[in-house]
Chain A
Amino acid sequence: MKISEKEVEHIARLSRLELEPEEKPRMAEQLGKILDYMAKLNELDTEGTEPTSHVLPIQNVFREDGVARHFAGADLMASAPKKDKGHYQVPKILGS
């Protein structure tokens, strides 16, 4: 299946990936090949096979509604690249 460079750019933006110009044709080719392989799977006769979203036949795995604290917020925050005043600090979200 043919994937255009424009589609590659769109997917890269959604994934927040920056691609060098010379990477784009390579990505287009590889993504196309992956889709070709999926198309091959589509040739299988799945008539009478229930669609599934999970590989294991399990349902209804729950936890009861109880509070459990295993970590201190500050310890978890220790690995954040930037923090201040008890908050995770990130580049400004809203443009000016």
Chain B
Amino acid sequence: MEFEAVIGLEVHVQINTKSKIFCGCPTKFGEEPNRNTCPICLGMPGVLPVLNREAVNLGLKTALATGCKINPLSRFSRKNYFYPDLPKGYQISQYELPLAERGRVCIKTGGKEKAIGITRIHLEEDAGKSIHGENLGDPASSYVDFNRTGVPLMEIVSEPEMHSPEEAREYLQNLKSILEYIEVSDCNMEEGSLRCDANISLRPVGQKELGTKTELKNMNSFRNVQRALEHEVERQTHLLQNGKAIIQGSRLWDAAKNETVSMREKEEAHDYRYFPEPDLPPVAVDQDWINGIEKTLPELPAAKRERFVSQYGIPEYDAGVLTASRSVADYYERCVSLAGNPKIVSNWVMGDVLRVLKEKNMTVEQFSVTPERLASMIGMISSGTISGAIAKTVFEEMSATGKDPKAIVEEKGLAQISDEKAIEEMVDAVLASHPVELETYKKGKETLFGFFVGQAMKAAKGKANPSLINKILKEKLSRLKGCDQ
């Protein structure tokens, strides 16, 4: 039997505010344990949480960027459960009236475009961090750091509308791209500022009714989300084909073992007994507020991608790669404004620039090859000062030393030889030193032409103008052939 996967994602994002959602403690990452705490986030009796306006602003910004409907009235609720990293015994979250609902994120896989629905976006507070046993001290104890307790989070829940692990990954990547563009979060999965859980079930192709789902947790990279889902599709398919039932529940992804394992949970774990948070009055958002936020929205990835295609005439694929990150898109545009040649600039940015950034694990803002330098180098190619092959050397040198391309070309004597006389001498020398090959060529093995080009280029240390070599070599060879006949 053929099965279809049904996948929905729940994404938690830390919102970029200076202070926590309900108190003035800093949200700064990496402070000494429990330094960023106060009686409010520690849940001492008698304290009063007060909502951080900026957290709401950034939530609204996200809602608008994903086409959500903003609820005119939303409120907070208490989600009750006991865990040592949750000092109050409840998490302040939103339940029946979230900040926003019914949006979408567009994805494209296998050339097909599709909108994935967003069910809801709500605000809540993060929990603390526990360290277990011997990782810090006594094996029979756990240790709690409340610095993260009360850091504002946004939960973005998708509809179960993805049907393959690739679609899920694409959705997550596009969502992340939007969140980065609008600067609401750092979206660093490794550091935990973006976390993703996935619900997945299978059903026979054509069936409307959903199968039993499992929830996957602990996937700390985009690649792992896709791998965990691929594994889970396989596992569930195997069970169903053998007539076994899927057991509903949470499963932890183990990246090292490449498998998911069931988390043993107590039955009552999900009895959260939500009720309205009496300490926080409702949030009312009117059109004026929405209009104000709308003005702060930048051009979003999808719009930028379309504009790149129409304005610069580059392929859609290029536009997709270049606009995935706002800073790379800005880098590209700056380069094109200086050097023209949109497709050539695109090739350099997609290829060498992104490769080096990945190798050096740095952002484009930190890159020593500024748009000005790359543009200047591309200018030297189009003016014929350097060849495309030499440009690769210049680029490597620029990214290693941070020097100006003109200085590098001068220092290393990399300028292209376009002097016909000099090239003619080189070609003559090559022909003279390869009499055997020359004879074979004359007898009709014309594929040796490339061999001579290569030898001449080698003699010129790669600096000769390739079209001149071609032209001169062609003339010489046809003359030599002509003489013999």
Interface residues of A (CB under 8 A from B): 10, 13-14, 16, 53-54, 56, 58-71, 73-74, 76-77, 82, 84-94
Contacts and interface: CB of A to CB of B under 8 A. Distances in A.
Contacts of A58: 281
Contacts of B145: 86-88
A70 B56 CA distance: 24
Contact of A93 (B17, B34, B84): B84
A56 B280 CA distance: 11
Nearest to A93: B142
B390 interface: no
Contact of B34 (A53, A77, A94): A77
A54 B19 contact: no
B38 interface: yes
A62 B50 CA distance: 6
B333 to A, nearest CB: 31
Contacts of A93: 83-84, 130, 132, 142
Interface string B19-30: 100001110000
Contacts of A89: 137-138, 141-144
B133 interface: yes
B39 A85 contact: no
Given A92-B132, A93-B84, A59 B38 contact: no
Contacts of B141: 82, 84, 89-92
Interface in B118-139: 130-133, 136-139
Contacts of A16: 82
13 contacts: A14-B273, A16-B82, A56-B281, A59-B73, A59-B282, A66-B19, A68-B19, A69-B25, A84-B136, A87-B143, A87-B145, A90-B144, A92-B142
B51 A63 contact: yes
Contacts of B84: 88, 90, 93
Given A65-B55, A67-B25, A87-B33, A60 B144 contact: no
A42 B111 CA distance: 57
Given A13-B268, A59-B282, A65-B19, A73 B35 contact: yes
Contacts of B472: none
A68 B24 contact: yes
Contacts of A13: 268
Contacts of A64: 52-54
Contacts of B136: 84-85, 87
Contact of A92 (B34, B35, B37, B140): B140
A79 B276 CA distance: 30
A5 B268 CA distance: 16
B131 A87 contact: yes
A96 B18 CA distance: 39
Given A62-B56, A93-B142, A67 B34 contact: no
B146 interface: yes
Contacts of B209: none
Nearest to B140: A92
Contacts of B26: 67, 69
Contact of A67 (B19, B53, B131): B19
B183 to A, nearest CB: 14
B75 interface: yes
B271 interface: yes
A66 B19 CA distance: 6
A62 B80 CA distance: 24
Nearest to B82: A16
Given A53-B282, A68-B19, A86-B145, 15 more contacts: A63-B50, A67-B25, A69-B24, A70-B24, A73-B34, A73-B35, A76-B34, A76-B42, A88-B34, A89-B141, A89-B143, A90-B143, A92-B139, A92-B142, A93-B83
B32 interface: yes
B400 interface: no
B268 A14 contact: yes
B37 A73 contact: yes
Nearest to B266: A13
B53 A65 contact: yes
Nearest to B42: A76
Interface-centre pick from A61, A70, A71 (highest chain B CB count, 10 A): A61
Nearest to B130: A93
